[in-house]
Amino acid sequence: MQMDKAVQDRAAARAAELPGSEHTHQFTGDWEVWKVGGKVFMLQTSMPGEPVVILKADPSDAEALRTAHASISPGYHMNKKHWITVRAGADVEPALVDNLVTESYLLVVAGLPKQSRPVDPASFRVPPSAD
């Protein structure tokens, strides 16, 4: 995805499709936050004029993603082991953004008490977007 804001727009659209997802402006300034069950699974902000998406990731997946994609780095202002930052870049396709948002959501859902989970993280899958 080449257009800077396109990564944020795509991530926000995917997050809106997820059951129980809540969009807030919890922090000061230019931060947008998406939660499920009261827990954060995605943040968006700008780093020196560059729009970014910050997502939770399994530590081994996060390392592999950072190695494979120049546009993915450790989580900005987050635990670098468990969070990633995604920027626009030729190596960031819409399907990758969709998958990263969904996996972040499912990691957080899996940590919720069973009675608070909007979906079963072991079996939930979001259909691919139309485009």
Tens of pLDDT, residue by residue over 22-70, are 998 866 778 899 999 999 999 998 888 789 999 999 999 999 999 999 9
75/56 Cα distance (integer angstroms)? 8
How far is CA 15 from its chain centroid?
Answer: 8
Whole-number pLDDT of residue 2: 42
Domain that holds residue 67: 4-108
Tell me if 124 is assigned to some domain: no
pLDDT of 11 over the 90 cut: yes
Whole-number pLDDT of residue 129: 60
3-23: average pLDDT: 91
Helices 94-110 and 4-17 cross at an angle (nearest 10°) of: 40
Tell me if 119 is assigned to some domain: no
Tell me if 56 is assigned to some domain: yes
Residue spans of alpha helices (H) in 22-78: 59-68
CATH number of domain containing 81? 3.90.1150.30
Dig out the tokens for 72 from the structure.
Answer: 């993915």
Tell me if 118 is assigned to some domain: no
Task: Give the number of domains in the chain.
Answer: 1
64/26 Cα distance (integer angstroms)? 30
Of 10, 18, 41, nearest to 112 by C-alpha is 41
Q: Considering the chain, what percentage of its residues have pLDDT values greater than 70?
A: 89
Whole-number pLDDT of residue 1: 43
